[in-house]
Every structure is written in C-alpha cells, then in structure tokens.
Amino acid sequence: MKSQLTILLSLIILGACSSPKTSNLTEQPTLDDYQLGEKWIWKYKGVTTAGEIRSDGTDKRIIVQIDEGLGMTIGNDTIPLTDIVKVDESETPKYDWPLEVGKTWKYENNWTSQDGTTGTQSQDAEVLSYQEETVEAGTFMAYTIKYTGKTTNSRGYNADEEEIWLYAPEVKTFIKLTQSQGDFNYVEELIEYSKPN
C-alpha cells in the first residue's frame, strides 16, 4: 500500500511538473480596443551622466473624435487611429506581434529630425518576462522588452544604447521606458490612465 501511494504521489508530482505552461500571447491592439475619451499621461526626464537635465516634462495622449472616426492627440497633432493600429509590414518592427516571453527580433529605424539631421537605430529585442509591474498610474501585467544596440546620426553621433520597455496590454502601450544612450539616461513613466466607464 505504501509503495502504491508513493507511486501515485510521484505520478501526480510529475504530472504537475510536466504540464504545459499557458503561454501569454498578446496581439497588436485594433480599432475596437480604443474608446473615445481614453487618456494616458506620462512624466519623463532625461539627464546626462554629468547631471545636465536635457528633458523634463509630461506627455499626454487622448482619444478624440475626428472626421475620419477616432484619433489620438500626440502633442499638437491628432493622428487617425487607423494609422496607429495599421499593421507594421517592416521586417524590423518596434514590436513583433504577437508578443510572447522569449521572443527575439531585430528592430531598425531610420529617422530625420526637424533640423534635418538623419539617423539610424539598430537594436536586438527580446521579451524577457510577463508579470505585474507597478508604476505611478497603478499595477499592470506587462511585458519587459529589452532592446540593445546602437544609434548613429549624420552629425557623427555614435552611441551604444539599452532600452527597457514595459508594455501593458491593458493600456495598449508602454507604462515605463528606461533608456541609456551614451552619456544620456532617460526615464518615462505612465502617471495616469483613464477611460470612460
């Protein structure tokens, strides 16, 4: 009897250990995921290693009604939501949907600033975890995505960089960004999130 009980307990334990873990997959948000009046506010601060503050403020985004349907205010611009949720066909996207722990990909971005400076960002991305994360706006389940690589520009700037993004599916965007680029450190954190009931 004792040996049968031992075998039964061993089978239960082995079964528990070998049962497949449920995989958390997150697809890209769609138009139906957003609501009129939904609002996000982040605080941000960028400081050099010498202590010089290069950026310090808040960023707010709100879902508003526009002629084309719904739009998102970003600074002084209002972008149609259809543009925001459009599938990125790039071979090297910022987010490689669906998100899943352990997934890796290459992110590349070419840009031009308002003063005409051009630049390139090239990073390796990896989803490290999916767990509860707490920021000023609250506690959310979030993916930790690590990006490591380089940024260069046409003015001769060349810096190694590391970025940690906490992406929360519930709010459809990142809740925290921590960036180290050369001698510059930047942190952006969600301090308020609300939507109509």
- pTM here is 0.84
CA 174 to chain centre: 4
Domains in the chain, CATH or no CATH each: 22-194 (2.40.360.20)
pLDDT at residue 32, as a whole number: 94
pLDDT at residue 122, as a whole number: 95
* pLDDT averaged per 10 residues in sequence order, the chain, 197 residues: 35 33 76 96 96 96 94 94 92 94 96 90 97 98 97 92 97 97 95 92
CA torsion, ordered 99, 172, 143, 182, to nearest 10 deg:
100
pLDDT at residue 75, as a whole number: 87
How far apart, in whole angstroms, are the C-alpha atoms of residue 108 and residue 95?
11
Q: Where are the beta strands (DSSP E) in 101-157?
A: 104-112, 118-135, 138-153
How far apart, in whole angstroms, are the C-alpha atoms of residue 146 and residue 159?
17
Contact 157, 119 (CB under 8 A): yes
In DSSP terms, 128 is beta-bridged to none
pLDDT at residue 6, as a whole number: 33
In DSSP terms, 48 is beta-bridged to 184
pLDDT at residue 15, as a whole number: 36
